[in-house]
Amino acid sequence: MDGYTKRWRALGSLGAYTRSNKRWLRNPNQDMSKIKGMRLLGIDYGETHIGFAFKPEDSKLAVPHQIFDRKPGDREALIDEVKDIVDELEVEMVIVGLPLTLQGKPDKMCDRVALFIHDLRKNISVRVDQEDERMTTRMAGKHAHDLSAAIILQTYIDTN
């Protein structure tokens, strides 16, 4: 098993990237039917801009919420911001965009996102999952990080 496969298997229950079939696999045992009535927070993670989107429990649509600007390396401030949003909006699950390459492979940015997901799981009390975010920034426009987060979250909602 290569380093990427080990790292992505360690990310959690949703799935793993495998080199043998070169794609991201979701865990088939995961029951996702309950997310439709949940409050969800989507996150588009970037080095300096982090976009947030929210899906209320009585809606099927994700809407942009806010953009958080931070200094690179200041993970504590970002974790605190996520905690505040989770508490304020009474979020039940957080979905983080996973920036796979166009070929569906993880890259160096995926490593940073994996660390962020790991930190979130250690520091917040709600479930944290990930969703493939390929092309979301292009779809949303170069500087619309909160809109990218909404697209990530909406994709997760629509596919589960």
Domains and CATH numbers, the chain: 36-159 (3.30.420.140)
Render pLDDT for 99-146 as a digit per residue (tens, 0 to 9): 887 777 888 888 889 999 999 999 999 999 988 877 665 555 555 777
pLDDT of residue 14: 42
pLDDT of residue 119: 94
pLDDT of residue 43: 93
Strand partners, 131: 97
For residue 67, give both structure tokens. 């953009």
Q: Taking the CB of residue 122, how many other CB atoms lie within 10 A of it?
A: 9
Start-to-end C-alpha separation, the chain = 29
Q: Taking the CB of residue 115, how many other CB atoms lie within 10 A of it?
A: 13
pLDDT of residue 120: 95
**pLDDT under 70: residue ranges of the chain:** 1-34, 73, 135-143
pLDDT of residue 125: 93
pLDDT of residue 27: 45
Question: How far is 121 from 125, CA to CA, in rounded Å?
Answer: 7
